[in-house]
Amino acid sequence: DGERFVLVSHAPDSDSWWNTIKNAIAVAGEQMNVEVEYRNPPTGDLADMARIIEQATASNPDGIIATIADYDVLSGPLSNAVAKGIPVITINSGTEEQSKAIGALMHVGQPEFAAGKGAGEKAKAAGVTKFLCVNHYITNPASVERCQGYAEALGVELGDQMIDSGQDPAEIKSKVMAYLQTNPDTNGILTLGPTSAHPTLAALDEMGKAGTIHFGTFDLSSEIAEAIKSDVIAFAIDQQPYLQGYLPVVILTNLARYGVVPGNSINSGPGFVTKANIALVEKYAGEYR
């Protein structure tokens, strides 16, 4: 009892999406009676994240849960942790292959490019030919990959269909409006999370285009759920972050206590949340969903 695990994410302090995972580890920690610490680089600098993993390793926890935001940067510190005999589970970003190469027990997550591509396939089916990918986090490689996956599924060049929107909601909104005005033939939108989705909703609403453009987004929030219900957003890609936080804690605890561990990686997503399955999602959006 009382095992100590550390979860290291790549997200800056203020990234809201990670709260679901924080809540998940809190729940799991309580249920399993273990201690789980959440750590992240305050500004989202991946080099800082590598230091945090090294530091976590130095503190000899019973297990480390980490994202593979950048394989190059993180493979070293993570494989050192493995070599030190600390069980590692990778979550969220990164691929199964990378996880194996590091020597982690398993990967719980969703590959970003594939998720973007999944979104793109749905969009293609809905007849999207020209789209806008609102990237509020242009410096994060995963964000760019999502846009690229979407573009590839549509079979078009990404080009300047991805915009660097910044994080300020009013600016995002204005930029989306400006883009849609200058590119009126745009018939698909992809946003990469609530930060860009909310202002985009406001922009569409103000331009009277709500519901006329095929709109997909990553991740959930109460506003997004509302928009799915009212047919403005077609789908939200839900990688079920709750599982990414909850499962590794449970698995690591069981490994520590009874030496049991599943043999394969787990895909927590992509799950598509649409009007059909919104009801349950909505209740916990932003907290457990």
Partner 1 sequence: MADTGEQTIEQLKEEIRDERLRETSRLRKMFIRPELGAICGAILVFAFFLVVAGGSGMFAPEGIINWSVVSAQFAIIAVGACLLMIAGEFDLSVGSMIGFSGIVIALMTVQWGLPAWFAIIVAFALALAIGALNGYLVIKTGLPSFIVTLAFLYILRGATIYISIATTRKTIIGGVREAAEGDPIAWLFGGKLFSGLFVWLSDIGIVDKFVAGPKAGQPVVEGIPMLVIWAIALIIFGHVLLTRTKFGNWIFASGGDSQAARYVGVPVNRVKILMFMFSAFCATVFATCQVMEFGSAAADRGLLKEFEAIISVVIGGALLTGGYGSVIGAALGALIFGVVQQGLFFAGVESSLFRVFLGVILLLAVILNTYIRRMITGER
Show the 3-state SS of 227-256.
HHHCCCCCEEEECCHHHHHHHHHHHHHHHH
Helices 19-32 + 241-258 axis angle, to 10:
30
Distance of closest approach, residue 240 Cβ to partner 1, in angstroms:
17
For residue 262, the minimal CB distance to partner 1 (Å) is 19
Nearest distance from C-beta of residue 55 to partner 1, angstroms: 5
**Residues for the chain: how many in total?**
289
Taking the least distance from each CB to partner 1, the nearer of 13 and 274 is 13
Q: Which C-beta is closer to partner 1: that of 45 or that of 121?
A: 45
Report, in Å, the least distance between residue 251 CB and partner 1: 18
Give me the half-sphere count of Cα atoms (radius 13 Å) on the Cβ side of residue 170: 0
Name the amino acid, one letter, at 121: E
Q: Given the complex with partner 1, which of 207 and 267 has the nearer CB atom?
A: 207
Residue carrying the six token digits 């200058």: 182
- Between 57 and 110, whose beta carbon lies closer to partner 1? 57
We find the least distance from the C-beta atom of residue 213 to partner 1, in angstroms, to be: 9
Using CA atoms, how far residue 114 sits from 33, 34, 65, 110, in Å, is 35, 34, 22, 8
CB of 46 to partner 1, least distance (A): 7
Closer by beta carbon to partner 1, 223 or else 267: 223
Nearer to partner 1, 143 or 265 (CB): 143
SS3 102: helix
* Structure tokens that stand for 224 in this block: 């997004």
Assess contact for 40 and 6: CB atoms under 8 A.
no
